[in-house]
Each structure stands twice: as C-alpha cells, then as structure tokens.
C-alpha cells in the first residue's frame, strides 16, 4: 500500500487490527514496578516500548538507566523552530494483579471479549500510552512529518511513586523543554461523553510499623499483661478519622484551598450518573463527608485510607498468639494547597502522640507528591477540546479526578510546563482491580483524538 495517499487519520484507521495485536504483545509483559522480583519484566517492557517507538519513526529513542526502572526518551523535532513542542508522557509499569483468583482470564494473557481488551495495564497505562506512539506513527508514515515537535518521556515507576523520573527532570530541563505536556492516564465520563481532567490529587503515603514483645507470645499466658501490637495499631487507626470520613489529624485541613462558587457550580453540572457509578463498585451505599457532594469528595477533598494491614496469624484455623509486630500502609490523598511534607510532619506528630507507650512505633514515607490543577482555558486545552469534539462528536466536560500522577506537579515546578490530561479510560475499566480492561473503541478513538490534537495545537499559538 502506498501510504502517502492516506491521511494520518485514515492510515490509523486502516491499521487498527495491527495496533491491537501489538498492544496485546506489550500487555503480555508483567511489568509490575512495586515488586523487586519483577525488575527483569519491567526492563523487558521498557525495551519493547523503545522498539515500538523506533518502529513508529520516532528518533533518538533511548533507554535511560535510573536507580530503579529505566526511562524511555525519544523525539521528532523537525516541525520547525516556530512550531510548538509537545512533551508526551506515559507509564509502562502496572499495578500488581492480585487477587489473581478473581480474574476471569489471566492478567498477563490479554483477552478480547466483545468490545473490551482484558489485561492488567490495558487501560492504566500501556494502552493509553501506546495511543500517542501510534498517532505519531500515522503522521510519519503518511505525511513524513508532524505538525508539531514531539518529545516522549515514558517511565516505569508511576505506580510506585515515580521517584526516578522526579530526580531526572530537574537535571534534564533542556532535554525535556516543551510548550505543553500531553498525558493520557485518566478517564472520560462515558463512551459518548469525553472529559478533560484539570485537577489531580496528590499523595502522602506512610508505612506504620508497630513492635511490642521481642517474639510472638502465648495469648493465654501473656494476654492481659502485655500489649498486643495489632490491638494498639487498631486503636491508632481508629483515631485517624471519624466515621463520616473527617480526618482527625490536627492541622490536616489547614492548607486545603476551598472551592470557589464558580468551580462548585461547574462540578455540580457534571453529568455523572451516581447510581450507576455506585452499582459498578458493588458497595451497598455511597459514603463520605456528608457536607460535600460526591464529585467534590472525589476531586477536591483530601482523604486518608488504610490500604493494607499486616500482622499476626492468618493461616487456617485459630492460633492463640500475641503477635510481636503489626504494620499498616496508610495513604493520604491531598488537594491544593496541602504540602505533602507538612502533612507527613503532622501525621508523624499525631501518631506519636496517640500511640500508647506499651508499643514502639516507627514510620516511613513511601511516596509524596503535591496535587495539581491546570487552567482549563489555555490554548492547549482548547485544542484538546476541539480534538475530542471532532472524534467523539461531543465537546468534553471539565473535571477533577481523585487519582494521582506524581510527575504532573514536577513538570509544573521544574519545567514550568502545564499538562493536558487527555484520557481515554472509562469509569468501569477496573484499573488497579481484577479484570482491568480497555474499551477498544476508545483505544482507536484515542489515536484519532491524538492525531487531531497535534494538528489543532500546531495551528494555535502556544
Ligand atoms: N492512572 C492512575 C491515576 C488516575 C487514577 C487518574 C484514576 C485518574 C483516575 C495512575 O496510574 C495511578 O494509579 N497513580 C497512583 C499514583 C500513586 C502510587 C502515587 C495512584 O493514584 O494511586
Ligand atoms: Zn496509570
């Protein structure tokens, strides 16, 4: 086929089946960044992505070693000095797949059922990151050029805090310099209602270690005389928030920037179907701070959650024991203008105060990143809205999301770069859960939307 007779959009459309086959290959690699024993798989996924970028015609593609997982850089910079530069970010690492028994098809054996591709990482974020590689390829294989300069920076640690990229950015400002960052690692409201996310929450993630006796003790001989670290941990956890979801750490809310009336109004008009949203979770009821609307609780209010508790006997039957230690993983989602370091300090101070003297407590920070908000009237947002409208037939709504992408704040701080979060996920993609999936029409529309965005942004003055 002589590709030069095709437009980028029609080329991408003609190659959908091939793109799906490639994505399936990528998804077979279990690149779980939090688990050290998966480091080789993570490296293999990086190498795969670098190869795919080279095949797409992206230049200067290289793997960059870091203290943990490799970064991938690549660019195409021949659009001319007047043309704007877009820095495209994505991540090739994925969340752990457990509990494995709940998957209907194995997490790393991608399976197409109906309109969906099932696999860990299909939506978050391999499928969404791949969208842009294919959009760029569609230009280079047809027109032989792009309407803008592009740079890619793809990381392998997003799901475990993103430290290596965060360290890399301030030292490579020139390499990463751009006019705008473009990221697809969020979702839209429904297949026919696109959305641009203009705010993400930040994170302060703490590990709490409680130790008591020097060994596990018989709970009959010692129970009543020696404190039990699991019980002590439960008391500490119970004092962190009240039953309505208000965090009880003094000063926790001091930095929270209240929503303006305008923003409350914008958010209240989001066409989110709360009943459907609840039904998809399987929970019996909605929950959270009663004085805030759901959309505000998810996007504009901070939270505190226990993600995991480790300790004691969890095998078959009963074992009568006072465990010698107990641990909890606790995350706090932050909003503008809470400072993650200050929140960590307040958390440590409060836990130290409420911990009983009968156990020893140590705390470790596992991840810290501030929240981010972007101006939704800037030219790149206008270009993104036009692109969505052309492909989805409807203009996007603007919303804040509850999740976090640590690098966005680092782009702002070190590179002065604003980000367009142009997502293609859906609320029922089950990211981080069993049976994660990507709605395939959104994969293909994503490629089309990226093609249009590059075109539109090339036309706008940046
Ligand atoms: N894709 C998500 C972020 C996200 C989730 C955006 C939901 C919008 C809606 C991202 O991969 C993610 O899960 N990030 C982690 C970061 C954390 C480990 C610092 C998160 O939010 O838990
Ligand atoms: Zn993600």
How far, in Å, is the centroid of ligand 2 from the Cα of 90?
8
Most ligand 1 atoms within 8 A of CB, residue of 122, 129, 158, 366 to mutate: 158
Span 32-69, pLDDT tens digits: 999 999 999 999 999 999 999 999 999 999 999 999 99
Domains of the chain: 3-200+371-460 (3.40.630.10), 202-256+302-366 (3.30.70.360)
Question: Is residue 462 pLDDT above 60, yes or no?
Answer: no
> What pLDDT sits at residue 5?
86
β-strands 217-218, 321-322 pairing: antiparallel
Cβ of 334 less than 6 Å from ligand 1: no
User: Which atom of ligand 1 is nearest to 404's Cα?
Assistant: 21
> What pLDDT sits at residue 135?
98
Q: For residue 309, count CB atoms less than 10 angstroms from its CB and return exposed for 0-12, middle for 13-18, buried for 19 or more.
A: middle
Instruction: Look at ligand 1, atom 19, and give the residue with the nearest C-alpha.
Output: 161
89 forms beta bridges with 153, 183
Question: Is residue 1 pLDDT above 60, yes or no?
Answer: no
- Mean pLDDT over 436-451 rounds to 98
SS (H, E, C) 363-390: EEEEEEECCEECCCCCHHHHHHHHHHHH
Peptide bond preceding 125: is omega within 30 degrees of 0, i.e. cis?
A: yes
Instruction: Look at ligand 1, atom 20, and give the residue with the nearest C-alpha.
Output: 404
Comparing 257-271, 278-292, 364-378, the range with the smallest average pLDDT is 257-271
Most ligand 1 atoms within 8 A of CB, residue of 203, 365, 401, 431 to mutate: 431
For 33-37, which contacts have Cβ atoms below 8 Å and span 24 or more sequence positions? 33/68, 33/69, 33/93, 33/94, 33/156, 33/157, 33/158, 33/159, 33/160, 34/95, 34/96, 34/159, 34/160, 35/96
| pTM reported for the whole predicted model | 0.90
Cβ of 407 less than 6 Å from ligand 1: no
* Distance of alpha carbon 458 from alpha carbon 146, whole angstroms: 9
How far, in Å, is the centroid of ligand 1 from the Cα of 347?
22
Cβ of 455 less than 6 Å from ligand 1: no
Span 94-139, pLDDT tens digits: 999 999 999 999 999 999 999 999 999 999 999 999 999 999 999 9
Nearest ligand to residue 368 Cα: 1
- Mean pLDDT over 423-446 rounds to 97
Cβ of 161 less than 6 Å from ligand 1: yes
Q: Measure the N-to-C terminal CA separation of the chain; round to a whole number of Å.
A: 36
Question: Is residue 7 pLDDT above 90, yes or no?
Answer: yes
% residues pLDDT > 90 (the chain): 92
- Kindly indicate the confidence band of residue 376, based on its pLDDT and cuts at 50, 70 and 90: confident
Cβ of 125 less than 6 Å from ligand 1: yes
> What pLDDT sits at residue 461?
63
Most ligand 1 atoms within 8 A of CB, residue of 69, 129, 159, 184 to mutate: 159
- Mean pLDDT over 403-416 rounds to 95
> What pLDDT sits at residue 64?
98
How many angstroms separate the Cα of 419 from the Cα of each of 199, 408, 437, 462? 10, 7, 25, 13
Cβ of 185 less than 6 Å from ligand 1: yes
């Amino acid at each position: 086929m002589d590709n030069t007779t095709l437009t980028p959009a029609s080329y991408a459309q003609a190659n959908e089946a091939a793109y799906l086959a490639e994505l399936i290959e990528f998804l077979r690699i279990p690149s779980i960044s939090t688990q050290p024993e998966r480091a080789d798989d993570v490296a293999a996924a990086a190498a795969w992505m670098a190869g795919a970028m080279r095949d797409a015609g992206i230049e200067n593609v290289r793997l960059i070693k870091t203290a943990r997982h490799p970064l991938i850089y690549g660019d195409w910079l021949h659009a001319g000095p007047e043309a704007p530069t877009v820095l495209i970010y994505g991540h090739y690492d994925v969340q752990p797949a457990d509990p494995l028994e709940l998957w209907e098809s194995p997490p790393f054996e991608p399976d197409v059922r109906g309109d969906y591709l099932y696999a860990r990482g299909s939506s978050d974020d391999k499928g969404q990151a791949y969208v842009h590689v294919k959009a760029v390829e569609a230009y280079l294989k047809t027109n032989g050029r792009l309407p803008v300069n592009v740079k890619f920076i793809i990381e392998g640690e997003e799901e475990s805090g993103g430290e290596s990229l965060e360290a890399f950015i301030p030292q490579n400002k020139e390499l990463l310099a751009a006019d705008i960052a473009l990221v697809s690692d969020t979702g839209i409201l429904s297949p026919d209602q696109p959305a641009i996310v203009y705010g993400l929450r930040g994170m302060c993630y703490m590990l709490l270690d409680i130790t008591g006796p020097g060994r596990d003790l018989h709970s009959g001989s010692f129970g009543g005389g020696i404190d039990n670290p699991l019980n002590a941990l439960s008391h500490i956890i119970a004092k962190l928030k009240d039953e309505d979801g208000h965090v009880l750490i003094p000063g926790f809310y001091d930095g929270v920037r209240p929503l303006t009336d305008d923003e409350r109004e914008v958010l209240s008009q989001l066409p989110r179907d709360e009943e459907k949203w609840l039904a998809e979770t399987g929970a019996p009821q909605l929950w959270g701070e009663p004085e805030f609307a759901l959309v505000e609780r998810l996007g504009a209010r901070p939270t505190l959650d226990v993600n995991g508790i480790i300790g004691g006997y969890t095998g078959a039957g009963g074992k009568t024991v006072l465990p010698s230690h107990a641990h909890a993983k606790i995350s706090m989602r932050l909003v503008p203008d809470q400072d993650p370091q200050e929140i960590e300090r307040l958390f440590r101070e409060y836990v130290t105060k409420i911990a009983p003297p009968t156990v020893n407590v140590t705390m470790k920070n596992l991840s810290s990143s501030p929240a981010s908000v972007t101006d939704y009237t800037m030219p790149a947002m206008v270009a993104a809205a036009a692109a969505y409208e052309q492909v989805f037939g409807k203009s996007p709504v603007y919303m804040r999301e509850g999740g976090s992408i640590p690098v966005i704040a680092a782009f702002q701080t070190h590179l002065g770069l604003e980000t367009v979060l142009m997502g293609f996920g859906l609320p029922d993609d089950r990211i981080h859960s069993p049976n994660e999936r990507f709605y395939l029409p959104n994969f293909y529309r994503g490629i089309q939307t990226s093609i249009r965005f590059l075109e539109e942004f090339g036309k706008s003055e940046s």
